[in-house]
Amino acid sequence: MGVKRINHDVWVNRKLFVVQDVPAEVCERCGETVFTPQITERILSTLRRSDSPKKTLKVPVLRLRPAV
C-alpha cells in the first residue's frame, strides 16, 4: 500500500462531486483505495461546503448499448 493523491468521486443526493488531491492508500494489486478516518472526515467536511465549487465539469452520460 502506497499513499497517493487521487481524485475521489462521490454521489451525494443524486449529484456527483469530484474532490481533488485526496491522499489515499492505493492497493498496488487491485487499485482499491482506502482513506484514513481523518481523511474521510475532511472529505465529508468538504462536501458539506460544496456550494462554491472550485470548478464544474461537464460529464458525458451514456445509455448502455443493447446486446448484439
32 forms part of the interface with Zn ion (CB under 5 A): yes
30 forms part of the interface with Zn ion (CB under 5 A): yes
Q: Among the candidate windows 5-13, 27-35, 39-47, 58-66, which touches Zn ion by CB under 5 A? A: 27-35
Nearest residue to 9 via CA among 37, 50, 62: 50
**Taking the complex as a whole, how short is the minimal distance between the CB of residue 32 and Zn ion, in angstroms?**
5
**Taking the complex as a whole, how short is the minimal distance between the CB of residue 6 and Zn ion, in angstroms?**
15
- Please give the Cα distance from 46 to 26 (Å, whole number): 21
Q: Please tell me whether residue 41 adopts helix, strand or coil conformation.
A: helix
